[in-house]
A = this chain, B = another copy of it.
Amino acid sequence: MGGDHAPAAIVEGAAAAAAAFGIDVILTGPSKLLRPLLSAQAPSAARDGSRPGQVRIISSEDSLAMDEGALASLRRPRSSAAIACQLVRRGQAQAVVSAGSTGGTVATARLRLRSLPGLLRPGLDVALPTAPKPTLLVDAGAIADPRPEMMVQFAQLGVAYAQVAYGLEDPRVGLLTIGAEPMKGNKLTRRAHELLAAPPHGGLPIRFTGNIEGSDLLAGQVDVVVTDGFTGNVALKTIEGAGSFATGLMRAALQGSQAARFGTLFQRRALRELAGQMDAETYGGAALLGLEGTIVIAHGDSKAKGITSACRLAADLARGRITERIRERLGPSHRAGHFLRRQ
């Protein structure tokens, strides 16, 4: 029930994910609203020839509004997001997809799902559109004032994601700061640099390649970018803003004169492909990792296509046993405690 185009776009996107990728989907929300929307979906064949997934409805009468923040999760134990988390907690689902407000969804998930042993804080992982593989930014906004030890764990979350989703064996990890030298940055990043540069990392070793700057975020130099949730969220939204600014200038330039406009007649296909490359809906959304169950948070203005991508990402992460992978990377919980006491 979350998102600007809920529930219609959610139902349509989820049904498409079930049909195309064989994903079993449970929709949570008022069944009298969802049932007719679901019946209206045309059946379509699975893309890979496998059996189509099932789509079921589990009714929940309440939902979080888009402008409700973290506290709403406490007041709304029967919201569609809370019910979805409970299904994961009871083992009836492996992942949650929501296009609701990030703050409300993160808080609901943290309240309803257990953290993995030894984890200090879950982190929000977002895939940046670098080629040939996306670069993961973590934390993109789950916690604004983390401790440096949490940032080492964010690296572990990102490494597990890159291994499962992109098949990378030993992903490169960079720290987002304001200069290449280890001592560049603020107090938080200088300490995080020390911890990342000096194993043990509380669990499996991390391939830390050093500091990166804002200008490197889309350069594909690293596979995982570690940052605090405040800086990560500012950087992510700055990329969005700068991208639409640049394409706006480009559109104005290409439409600005008759001659230039005439030229675009020969570029229709190229410009359509370009728009696709810059379309955030194709990346699937942000994954909240570190809990007993995966949460994928799609962009609030996602249409059906974005919801389908988010369902596919959630299924890929769950099928790749991301939770077990993270548990392994974080190490036994007493080790994590030991790691923290040593700092």
Give the interface of A toward B (CB within 8 A).
69, 103, 141, 144-145, 176-179, 181, 185-187, 189, 213-219, 228-231, 233-243, 245-247, 249-250, 253-254, 256-257, 259-260, 262-267, 269-271, 273-274, 277-278
Contact = CB atoms under 8 A, between A and B. Distances in A.
Nearest to A265: B263
Contacts of A176: 234
B235 A234 contact: yes
Contacts of A249: 274, 277-278
Given A219-B241, A246-B247, A263-B265, 20 more contacts: A145-B186, A178-B229, A178-B233, A214-B233, A214-B235, A214-B241, A215-B237, A216-B241, A217-B241, A231-B234, A246-B278, A247-B250, A249-B278, A250-B250, A253-B273, A254-B267, A257-B269, A259-B266, A260-B270, A263-B263
Contacts of A231: 230-231, 234
Ranked 8 nearest A-B pairs via Cβ: A214-B237, A263-B266, A214-B238, A242-B242, A263-B263, A246-B246, A215-B241, A144-B186
Contacts of A213: 233-234, 237
A229 to B, nearest CB: 8
A247 B245 CA distance: 11
19 contacts: A69-B181, A141-B178, A177-B230, A214-B236, A214-B237, A214-B239, A218-B245, A234-B234, A235-B235, A246-B246, A247-B250, A249-B278, A250-B274, A253-B267, A257-B269, A259-B267, A259-B269, A263-B264, A263-B266
SS of A interface (majority) = helix
A141 B144 CA distance: 20
A306 B216 CA distance: 23
A236 B235 CA distance: 9
A139 to B, nearest CB: 11
